[in-house]
Amino acid sequence: MKYKRILLKLSGEALMGDNQYGIDAARLEQYVKEIKEVKDLGVEIAIVIGGGNIFRGVQAEDSGIDRVQGDYMGMLATVINAMALQSALEKTGLYTRLMSGIKIEEVCEPFIKRRAVRHLEKGRIVIFGAGIGNPYFTTDSTASLRAIEMEADVVLKGTRVDGVYTADPEKDPAATKFPSISFQDVYEKGLNVMDMTAFTLCQENNLPIIVFDMNKKGNLKAIVAGEEVGTLIS
């Protein structure tokens, strides 16, 4: 295995499947299958899941809701997704722990770094809910921060696009994909990989990122095995 401990970032939007809102059961099941395949290889897995399929803080102001309040609503949305993912993973016999950036003791443990590392060492899949627990941050930043804290080998950003392109491939058919690219080049070319906070955290801590298509079967396993999938940023 090329990677022994991974931090997988899944967006909330990806969980919607073809729906406009919420959680698509088939998509959830598919993700669980992919994750289980990798777990069965003995890889330690931490997961950060977004909340964009339910609520985003930036939406709040349009509805007359205070931004900070909206961000907490977004964080709670990630906990809903995390609970769904946890339940689906456990149904297949995997051991998991859900750790939250804000205290919700009835449903999850608070995030404690040492405890999270211990869970990973014991082979439990650790899902980080509620982001870092502070407004004005994103789940991408959470992914970078938790990956650094967990000393993960890599951040795997699962998206619906199969890597980093010269332009948005959904808008520009002439866009071409980078198999790999440096942090500096991403920055200089103004490519959109993650928000700058998330991106800079990885760059400053020499933590590679792989952007890949999570909806393509077998991709996650292939990456862990060392195959060239998606775009490696290092």
List binding-site positions for UMP.
Answer: 51, 71, 132-139
Q: Is 210 within 8 Å of 233 (Cβ atoms)? A: yes
What is the C-alpha separation between 72 and 135, in angstroms, rounded? 6
Smaller CB separation from ligand UDP, 1 or 68: 68
CA–CA distances in Å: residue 25 to residues 28, 81, 96, 142: 5, 12, 19, 25
Alpha-helical (H) ranges within 23-174 are 25-39, 57-60, 67-91, 113-121, 139-149
Minimum distance, C-beta of residue 40 to ligand UDP, in the bound complex (Å):
26
Smaller CB separation from ligand UDP, 170 or 179: 170
Minimum distance, C-beta of residue 140 to ligand UDP, in the bound complex (Å):
6
What residue numbers does the annotated binding site for ATP cover?
9-12, 52, 56, 159, 165, 168
The answer for residues whose C-beta is within 8 angstroms of residue 42's C-beta and 6 or more apart is 1
Tokens 């890949």, residue? 212
Minimum distance, C-beta of residue 137 to ligand UDP, in the bound complex (Å):
3
- Report angle CA 192, 226, 199 to the nearest 5 degrees: 25
What residue numbers does the annotated binding site cover?
9-12, 51-52, 56, 71, 132-139, 159, 165, 168
Residue nearest to ligand UDP (CB): 50
Smaller CB separation from ligand UDP, 61 or 227: 61
Minimum distance, C-beta of residue 102 to ligand UDP, in the bound complex (Å):
9
Give the 3-state secondary structure of residue 93.
coil
**Would you tell me which residues interact with ligand UDP (CB under 6 A)?**
11-13, 50-52, 56-57, 70-71, 74-75, 77-78, 131-132, 134-135, 137-140, 142
